[in-house]
Structure 1
Amino acid sequence: MYDILINTIDFESWPRAAQYGTQLAGLMQASVTGAYVYPSPLFATPSFSTPELIDVLIEAARTLEASALGAERSFIAWANGMGVEHAAWVVGQGNLSDALVQIACWHDLLVAERNPDRTWATPSDLASLILTVGLPCIVVPPRPVQAVSLSRIAIAWNGAPEVIRAVHAALPLLKQASEVLLLRGAPNETFQEVSWKPPFDIDAYLNRHGIHARSQDLAGAERGVGEALLEQVGRFHADLLVMGAYGRSRFSEWALGGTTRHVLWNAQLPVLFRH
């Protein structure tokens, strides 16, 4: 059974990540945890603060915490109404990425949303989360969440370790699909000093798990792999895209590579990333 963690950026109305993640949990018969994290008042304190201002900030944080904790019953009842039997609500104080990395340790999947006006305001913000959280992460785009479906799933495939991990993590979701499309790009020769006989066969791997995918070459990459990938995903009418999240180098993995960055910030469908 999946344990799905949702980064809930609001508790007065349930945002897109909560809507998608909770529907997904109902579809997968999974458990769900809504996690609301707010910053410590110490980080919001100006350098030259008066004791009075510090007291105001601390009191505001206490009020926010009490309101957030008060949303537990509402969230659980809402999730139960969406068909989720096991739901939980947690409230944390601290740095958001650090908090999610910590709570991720007892979950299988993180759902977050791309929101230019709120928490994850830039691609780098989301990149740091995806590259450090240690979980597959579904990023929900900034558009209304309709009924969640997993009927048609596309995989951005090039043989790299990151995408192999992404496919492995997505197996429970892929088994729900009636159609799976492998979009094959240029092979990634990560381990050139190692050879296997026979080499890893993604089709055989998927077939072994009861998943029968059709393949299609990723055409039009001269315009940019990310752009071509999203174009073909759109033609397929995919409900979900599965792909690896690639750092630019081993020395700067806080920054995503060009293709991952383009998909992350331009996709109009949910994308499962795995680093």
Structure 2
Amino acid sequence: MKNATFLALQGPNGKAEDLAAVAEKAQAVGGRLNVLHLGPVPILAYSLTPHPYGVPVIPDTWVEKRNAMGRNLEEHQKKSRAYLQAQGLSGEVGTISVEPAAFHDLVALHSIFADVCVVQDSLRENKNTFDNVVYGLLFEGPGPVILNAEKNPKALSPENVFVAWNSSLPAIRAVRAALPLLKEAKEVTLACFDADPSRYADGQSPGSDIATWLSHHGVNLTVQEYATGHESVGDAIMTRAKETTADLVVMGAYGRSRWNEKFFGGTTEKMIAQRDLPLLIAH
């Protein structure tokens, strides 16, 4: 990850100290750290005056909340700039204050020239904002996205990585994105859950092809096959990752339709919602 550019995304109550792990990694690789402070504002519900042309009236309370959020973000922006300067890091610090649904495209634009996007826990305070930020980074940006990095000091320089492998295109993209971290790790577990040995699925030796490719890159890995049994795949991933004391889980996101998972549940939604294990995902 030499000279990598990191993008850290914070909620309105995020603190400069929360950037410590990302800043340390950026310093270690001679990289840059961009910070984006995101503040959601209420959906604007305006009324029309009793006039032939219906002039819209914007409530004073909405304006007050919008201005208060803007002031809050500006204050955090100053603190983040001072923090980066104190750490000797270069990077840009920006703010975005819009309705939650509008974050989708805006964060994607900021992620275009970032090598890794780190979504910080402070964004989870508003689920709508968090969901739109993660979806925007995954579907409109180049990725990858790292969640829950604050939960483990080794998350951005993992010694033990757990790769949830299922031969899908998102999984391949996630592994490729994580390759610099996998090469640095002391141990990598390539986990196949309920593998399908058929020719058009995982083959007779699930994970063998990707394992050969990774080994050629110098990754020290072990291939493991697991049966989920009575657990869902998401629960099985968390169980096995904890058993291997993984510092980071790597997996593809939304192998099925995003809306299908949103309404009916699925592995990606479960893993994004969990807050215990650091997670690197790509679509």
TM-score bracket for the superposition, by shorter chain length = 0.7 to 0.9
Residue 85 of structure 1, aligned match among 78, 85, 89: 89
Instruction: Supply the distance in 1 between the matched residues of 2:140 and 2:117 (Cα, whole angstroms).
Output: 9
Q: Which residue of 2 aligns with 1:105?
A: 112
Unaligned ranges ≥5, structure 2: 50-54
AA paired with 2:81? I
- SS of the residue corresponding to residue 71 of structure 1 reads helix
Alpha-carbon shift at residue 166 of structure 1 (Å): 0.1
The alignment yields a C-alpha RMSD, in angstroms, of: 3.8
Alpha-carbon shift at residue 118 of structure 1 (Å): 1.4
Contact 1:32 1:84 in 2 (8 A): no
Alpha-carbon shift at residue 26 of structure 1 (Å): 3.4
Instruction: Supply the distance in 2 between the matched residues of 1:111 and 1:158 (Cα, whole angstroms).
Output: 24
- SS of the residue corresponding to residue 223 of structure 1 reads coil
Instruction: Supply the distance in 1 between the matched residues of 2:229 and 2:270 (Cα, whole angstroms).
Output: 13
Alpha-carbon shift at residue 22 of structure 1 (Å): 3.2
Q: Which residue of 2 aligns with 1:21?
A: 22
Alpha-carbon shift at residue 61 of structure 1 (Å): 3.0
Query: Which is worse superposed, 232-241 or 179-188?
Result: 179-188
Instruction: Supply the distance in 1 between the matched residues of 2:259 and 2:169 (Cα, whole angstroms).
Output: 17
Q: Which residue of 1 aligns with 2:190?
A: 182
Q: Residues 105, 21 of structure 1: CA spacing in aligned structure 2 closer, same or farther, 3 A cutoff?
A: same
Alpha-carbon shift at residue 2 of structure 1 (Å): 1.9
Alpha-carbon shift at residue 232 of structure 1 (Å): 1.0
Contact 2:164 2:249 in 1 (8 A): yes
Q: Residues 218, 129 of structure 1: CA spacing in aligned structure 2 closer, same or farther, 3 A cutoff?
A: farther
Instruction: Supply the distance in 2 between the matched residues of 1:167 and 1:57 (Cα, whole angstroms).
Output: 44
Instruction: Supply the distance in 1 between the matched residues of 2:39 and 2:26 (Cα, whole angstroms).
Output: 24
Q: Which residue of 2 aligns with 1:75?
A: 80
Residue 118 of structure 1, aligned match among 116, 122, 125: 125
Q: Does 1:9 find its partner at 2:17?
A: no
- Post-superposition CA distance 1:9-35 (Å, at most 9, x none): 03563485x444334433443211111
TM-score, normalised relative to structure 2: 0.76
Instruction: Supply the distance in 1 between the matched residues of 2:117 and 2:265 (Cα, whole angstroms).
Output: 21
Q: Residues 224, 11 of structure 1: CA spacing in aligned structure 2 closer, same or farther, 3 A cutoff?
A: closer
| 1:1-275 alignment runs, 5 A limit | 1-10=3-12, 13-14=15-16, 16=18, 18-39=19-40, 43-47=43-47, 54=59, 57-58=62-63, 60-81=65-86, 83=87, 85-94=89-98, 95-113=102-120, 118-120=125-127, 128-129=135-136, 131-134=138-141, 135-140=143-148, 146=153, 148=155, 149-187=157-195, 192=200, 201-249=209-257, 252=260, 258-275=266-283
- SS of the residue corresponding to residue 170 of structure 2 reads helix
Instruction: Supply the distance in 1 between the matched residues of 2:39 and 2:151 (Cα, whole angstroms).
Output: 24
Unaligned ranges ≥5, structure 1: none
Q: Residues 31, 169 of structure 1: CA spacing in aligned structure 2 closer, same or farther, 3 A cutoff?
A: same
Contact 1:30 1:84 in 2 (8 A): no
Instruction: Supply the distance in 1 between the matched residues of 2:68 and 2:224 (Cα, whole angstroms).
Output: 54
Q: Residues 32, 178 of structure 1: CA spacing in aligned structure 2 closer, same or farther, 3 A cutoff?
A: same
Q: Residues 244, 117 of structure 1: CA spacing in aligned structure 2 closer, same or farther, 3 A cutoff?
A: closer
AA paired with 1:175? K
Instruction: Supply the distance in 2 between the matched residues of 1:5 and 1:233 (Cα, whole angstroms).
Output: 26
- Counting aligned pairs with the same residue, the percent is 25
Contact 2:158 2:185 in 1 (8 A): yes
Contact 1:76 1:89 in 2 (8 A): yes
Contact 1:20 1:145 in 2 (8 A): no
Contact 1:240 1:269 in 2 (8 A): yes
Contact 1:8 1:34 in 2 (8 A): yes
Instruction: Supply the distance in 1 between the matched residues of 2:33 and 2:79 (Cα, whole angstroms).
Output: 14
Q: Residues 3, 221 of structure 1: CA spacing in aligned structure 2 closer, same or farther, 3 A cutoff?
A: farther
Instruction: Supply the distance in 2 between the matched residues of 1:90 and 1:126 (Cα, whole angstroms).
Output: 15
Instruction: Supply the distance in 2 between the matched residues of 1:251 and 1:97 (Cα, whole angstroms).
Output: 15
- SS of the residue corresponding to residue 92 of structure 2 reads strand
Task: Work out the number of aligned pairs and report it.
Answer: 267
- SS of the residue corresponding to residue 248 of structure 1 reads coil
Q: Residues 23, 47 of structure 1: CA spacing in aligned structure 2 closer, same or farther, 3 A cutoff?
A: farther
